[in-house]
Amino acid sequence: MKLEGKTALVTGGGTGIGAAIAKRFVEEGAKVCITGRRLEKLEQQAAAFASDSVIVCAGDVAVHDDVKRMVETTAAFGGGIDILVNNAACDRVAPIADLDPADWRRILETNLTGPFLLMRETIPHMIRRGGGSIINVASIGGLRCMPGAPAYGSSKAGLIFLTQQAAVDYSRAGVRCNVVCPGATRTEMLEEAVSGIAKGVGTDVDGILAKFASVIPMGRVSSPSEIAAVAAFLAGDESSFMTGAVLVVDGGANIVDVSGAAIG
């Protein structure tokens, strides 16, 4: 119960990594507001917990009025906000010359502007509480280039910088800000992203994930619960002297030489 007495806002909390983080936070004693665009997914997730531990707030992180409502709902539910997890994200696989500008804008708005808006509205609440912890979920795609991911990679690289900028600006006010960079993690979003690729090469999602795993030193992709464990650590007092940190959680994928992997 290391998060007992704390209140958290988790975006993209209806599925995947966000849902796993919300679950872990509740298990650690926190009250959690989960947000997302699909109300039915949020309600399904919340139904697994006691009504006094989880509340839902549907909305789009790229819409400022929705963000304000998310923050107000969370603060009213828990009497303030101690933890913010910016997890909501979207993607579109296409190289630069094939990427629709509307898709570029949507990805940047969701993956980068959304966290900025959440941080902008949440940080004053945290300062009034004497501090807090912001956890931004980026990706190893923000550290290394992936084929066909110009918008996603740019947005996640920007999120890493935004995280560290907030750490510089607000650490003395007691607000810590760290970023988690997962590698391949089996989520609904990843499965949707690779399903088209799988069909193109005559395999299925499991086949594509097996190819990912073949060049990961630990020999597998991660589960959302493994990312949630890192988020719980960053949310709690055990990480009290950490801010601006980039925690890579990828089974060692980012340290592999691609040339060697190709012949390994």
pLDDT of residue 213: 83
Fold of 7-185+223-253: Rossmann fold (3.40.50)
Distance, in Å, from the CA atom of 175 to the CA atom of 166, rounded to the nearest integer, reads 8
Q: How confident is the model at residue 241 (pLDDT cuts 50, 70, 90)?
A: very high
Q: 209-223, pLDDT tens digit by residue? A: 888 888 889 898 889
At CB < 8 A and 24+ separation, what contacts does 211-215 make?
212/184, 213/184, 215/253, 215/256, 215/261, 215/264
Burial of 116 (0-12, 13-18, 19+ CB in 10 A): middle
pLDDT of residue 264: 59
Tokens 């990679």 found at: 153
Distance, in Å, from the CA atom of 53 to the CA atom of 69, rounded to the nearest integer, reads 19
Nearest to 79 by CA among 123, 115, 126, 36: 126
pLDDT of residue 121: 98
Q: Could you list the active site residues?
A: 152
Tokens 């890192």 found at: 230
Whether the per-residue pLDDT at 206 is higher than 90: the answer is no
Backbone dihedral region for residue 134 (phi beyond 0: left; psi -120 to 50: alpha; all else: beta): beta
Distance, in Å, from the CA atom of 205 to the CA atom of 255, rounded to the nearest integer, reads 24
Whether the per-residue pLDDT at 48 is higher than 80: the answer is yes
The least confident of 16-25, 56-65, 141-150, 205-214 is: 205-214
